[in-house]
Amino acid sequence: WETAARRDRCQGQARDELITGRAIVDGSLITLPGGDVRVAVGYEASRDNFQQRYTSGAAIGALRGMPFSAYGRTIHSVFGELN
């Protein structure tokens, strides 16, 4: 016979990859009597790739033959600053 604890075991595996890139440009825009007017602009992008596989109630080692489910997101952002 098989115990409830043995029937209800869970197995899982995950992979995560994060890729980011950033570009920033800053400097003096114009000079006024009170000082320089500075400007900064930038862009950033990131990509998050996540994969997982999960099972419950399967024999130990069964997870190896299961495919990964893939999830991902891409984020783009920009900014500007005047000082």
Helices and strands, counts by H and E, the chain? 1, 3
What pLDDT, in 10s, does the model give residues 33-83?
A: 999 999 999 999 999 999 999 888 777 777 888 899 999 999 999 999 999
Q: For position 15, what pLDDT does the model report? A: 94
pLDDT above 90: percentage of residues in the chain: 69
What pLDDT, in 10s, does the model give residues 50-64?
A: 999 988 877 777 788
What pLDDT, in 10s, does the model give residues 2-22?
A: 555 555 678 889 999 999 999
Starting at the earlier edge strand, list the strands of the sheet with 35-56: 10-32, 35-56, 69-82
